[in-house]
Amino acid sequence: MEKEIKFSLVYRDMWQSSGKYMPRVDQLVRVAPEIIKMGCFARVETNGGGFEQINLLFGENPNNAVRQWARPFNEAGIQTHMLDRSLNGLRMSPVPADVRKLFYKVKKAQGVDITRCFCGLNDPRNIIASIKYAKEAGMIAQATLSITVSEVHNETYYCQLADELIANGADEICLKDMAGIGRPATLGKIVNYIKTNYPQIVVQYHGQTGPGFTPASILEVCRNGCDIIDVGMEPLSWGTGHADVIMVREMLVDAGFKVPEIDMAAYMRVRALTQEFMDDFLGYFIPESNRRLQSLLIASGLPGGMMGSLMNDLKDNLVSINKSMAKKGEPELTIDELLIKLFDEVAYVWPRVGYPPLVTPFSQYVKNLAMFNIMQLSKGKERWTMIADSIWDMILGKAGKLPGDVDPIIKELAKEQGREFYDGDPQSLYPDKLEEFRKEMAENGWENGPDDEELFELAMHPEQYRAYKSGKAKADFEAELTAAKVKKDAMPASTLIEPQTVQVEVNGEKFLVNIAYGDAATNTASAKSEVSNPVSSTGEVHNVIAPLEGKFYLTNSSAEIPVKIGDVVGKGDLLCYIESMKTYNAITADKAGRIDEIAFVNGDSVDEDDVLFKLQ
């Protein structure tokens, strides 16, 4: 009897793997009926790690997006699934247990059937808690093996992890080959082990196509009993995305598997709509290099989902690094040269920080640490001199147990800075906070929403949700899109135009938007509200300078009290954070003094060498 293979369309993840943004809810609602008419999908992915933050970034309500996107598939009898980061929920940093529990209740109520729980460290403690919370909420708990290749990540490692997850209630297992570097034969052996020992367990394979292994991997896992394959479709298949459903189907038909038919008329309509969305605005944030296969990714092991934003980040990093190179009289780097440098540095950094699987958020942490090393080296400084607190938390064990050992050099650095390693349950470090956020909702007069979904959104993404509610997020996005359109569609790269200021009105609030183009642009755009006014001063003023570009935030959690004008700070005191490459980097006072001026407000874009504070 022919083995039946089912397909799952990762439509929203296709966008995240290719670029920075994904379709608006009105676009998702238009494409959903045509996806259903294709008739070949048993499952469709409706939500995931970075999706809701992206909605918030362009000023859209993510809860409304999930409900409207999931509804037509629910009505058609197509299962919906989402990706969650276990301890980190839907964000980059750990989430209190009460917020995690609410998370699954909200998503179930919004129409999501299956949650794909993964831990970026493959720490079973984090995943097992999510399995429990998901099942309590009535969801199917699909536990995940985050696939990578190293001296510690072998067949035995993954088979033992599957044993533990299944023993603790996992309904299904997903092989999440996020970088597409899983070797086909080994993946087949892992699936064979699971299906031989647990024939009732559904196994799903998710593979990014970046390095090119994925078609062979799909064939191997199917030959060894895999049940469901995640697929993409043109014009966003391949590259840093996913294998195209047409190719996968034809390959499996030839191998003798039973697979569903594809309604090609509907396929072409989905294809055309996807291209229309790219032409509308999404294509402005999809680097061309992300549309190609890259065997260079094999060595670095960086995942496709991260490569979507990496190339955008790299352009800003290149400007900063070349400033340093120019100051030293050394030749500037090209974007390709910087990419190779980054891949080499990732290969250097990764084993020294304990071989965390390169999946969100730890792929970003390893990549960011590699990039910070490159930036510091370009300035004539040493490696490891810029490590964000969130990266330290990973190294110290506060996010879970690392698979490998930390390099003695980094252990000694931790000791010098008074940082201690932790081997307890990570969740115990992050106490419940839901009531604090409930109070904030009430104080602002914000509705908690159906099933407390708006309360959940604030608790999961505090800074982004506040920026969304104020209208600043939408203003920033409109400024960024305006700059991207002008730069890509109208301006030669060498053209110099003076920065312009325009006014954007969102929800009745006016924002001044500064836009620079061509060689004048170090930041493409920023939307700024009125900044804090300086107090009068007569003494010597000391400027606190931004060491890198990113987004300015005074705090990183509700527990922190922001500094204000007139505060007296000591050398080393925390002043603010710069969120860069999805990491919050603490900025401290390099000199004692009184805060005379705060130059930015939460969410503002800053460049390297911008003055953040004036101290007297």
Does residue 507 fall inside a structural domain?
no
Instruction: Give the DSSP H or E segment for 73.
Output: helix 62-76
Per DSSP, the residues of 20-45 read S----HHHHHHHHHHHHHH--EEEEE
What is the reported pLDDT for 171? Answer: 98
**Which residue from 42, 45, 37, 32 is spatially nearest to 77, judged by alpha carbons?**
42
Confirm whether 370 is domain-assigned.
yes
Instruction: Work out the average pLDDT over 330-338.
Output: 81
Cis before 303 (ω within 30): no
Look at the chain and report how many structural domains it folds into.
2
Residue in the structure block whose two tokens are 């493409």? 524
Residue 459: predicted pLDDT: 96
Residue 375 has pLDDT above 90, yes or no: no
Mean pLDDT score, 344-372: 88
CATH of the domain at 558: 2.40.50.100
Q: What secondary structure does DSSP assign to 548-570, as a single string?
A: S-EEEES-SSTTSPPP-TT-EE-
| Cα 139–Cα 446–Cα 433 angle in degrees, nearest 5 | 55
pLDDT tops 50 at residue 499: no
Among 593, 405, 583, 582, which residue's Cα sits nearest to residue 16? 582
**Residue 503 parent element (H or E):** strand 496-506
- Which of 426, 454, 483 is the C-terminal boundary of a domain? 426
Is residue 309 scored above 80 in pLDDT?
Answer: no
Q: What is the CA radius of gyration of the chain?
A: 24
Strand intervals (E) in 166-294? 172-177, 202-207, 228-231
- Establish how many alpha carbons lie within 13 A of residue 456's alpha carbon, considering only the half-sphere containing its beta carbon: 24
Which pLDDT tens digit goes with each residue over 8-50? 999 998 888 888 889 999 999 999 999 999 999 999 999 987 7
- Residue that wins the pLDDT comparison between 567 and 521: 567
Q: Are 52 and 457 in contact (CB under 8 A)?
A: yes
Angstrom distance (rounded) from CA 56 to CA 529: 18
Closest by CA to 517, choosing from 550, 483, 489, is 483
The band of 1, judged by pLDDT with boundaries at 50, 70 and 90, is: low
Residue 500 reports pLDDT greater than 50 = no
Higher pLDDT, 230 or 120: 230
For 273-303, give the secondary structure using H, E and C: HHHHHHHHCHHHHCCHHHHCCCCCHHHHCCC
| 596 domain-assigned | yes
Q: How confident is the model at residue 609 (pLDDT cuts 50, 70, 90)?
A: confident
Q: Which of 57, 50, 113, 58 is nearest to 85 (CA)?
A: 50
In a domain, 577, yes or no: yes
Inter-residue contact 74 to 99 (CB < 8 Å):
no
Q: What is the dihedral of CA 306, 310, 312, 315, to 10 degrees?
A: 180
pTM, two decimals, is: 0.81
Q: What is the mean pLDDT of residues 357-368?
A: 85
Q: Does 187 or 304 have the greater pLDDT score?
A: 187
Residue 553 lies in a domain: yes
Angstrom distance (rounded) from CA 131 to CA 133: 6
- pLDDT single digits (tens) 342-351: 888 888 999 9
Q: How far apart are CA 27 and CA 35, in angstroms?
A: 13
Mean pLDDT of the chain: 87
pLDDT confidence tier of residue 295, bands split at 50, 70 and 90: confident
CA 194 to each of CA 183, 189, 208, 230: distance values in angstroms, whole numbers, following the listed order: 17, 9, 22, 18
For residue 531, tell me if it sits in a domain. no
Structure tokens at 60: 């859209």
Residue type at 509 in one-letter notation: E
In 3D, which of 158, 100, 87 has the Cα closest to residue 126?
87
C-alpha distances in angstroms, 86 versus 118, 149, 157, 400? Answer: 6, 22, 20, 11
8 A C-beta contact, residue 575 and residue 612: yes
Q: What is the mean pLDDT of residues 400-408?
A: 95
CB 438 within 8 A of CB 452: no
Among 375, 233, 208, which Cα is nearest to 308's?
Answer: 208
Question: How many CB atoms within 10 Å of residue 348?
Answer: 12
Residue 273 lies in a domain: no
CA distance 83 to 611: 39
Domain termination residue (choose one: 381, 397, 426)? 426
Are 86 and 121 in contact, with CB atoms under 8 Å apart? no
Give the CA diameter of the chain.
Answer: 87
- Alpha helices, DSSP H, located in 328-388: 335-352, 362-378
Q: Tell me the C-alpha distance between 326 and 329, whole Å.
A: 5
DSSP string of 409-425, one letter each residue: HHHHHHHHTT-----S-
Higher pLDDT, 588 or 422: 422
Give the contacts of 439 (CB within 8 A, at least 6 positions apart): none
For residue range 50-104, what is the model confidence (pLDDT) as tens digits? 788 889 988 999 999 999 999 999 999 999 999 999 999 998 889 999 999 999 9
pLDDT over 90 at 310, yes or no: no
Q: Is the pLDDT of residue 402 over 90?
A: yes
Our CA dihedral for 146, 147, 149, 150, rounded to 10 degrees, sits at 30
* pLDDT at position 519: 37
Mean pLDDT calculated for residue range 161-183: 96
Tell me the residue range of the domain where 606 lies.
Answer: 542-615
Asked if residue 479 belongs to a domain, the reply is no
**Span of 174-178, 219-223, 322-326, 541-545 with lowest mean pLDDT:** 322-326
What is the predicted pLDDT for the residue at 357? 87
Measured CA to CA, the distance from residue 162 to residue 356 in angstroms comes to 18
Does residue 520 have a pLDDT over 70? no
Mark which of 388, 410, 426 sits at the end of a domain. 426
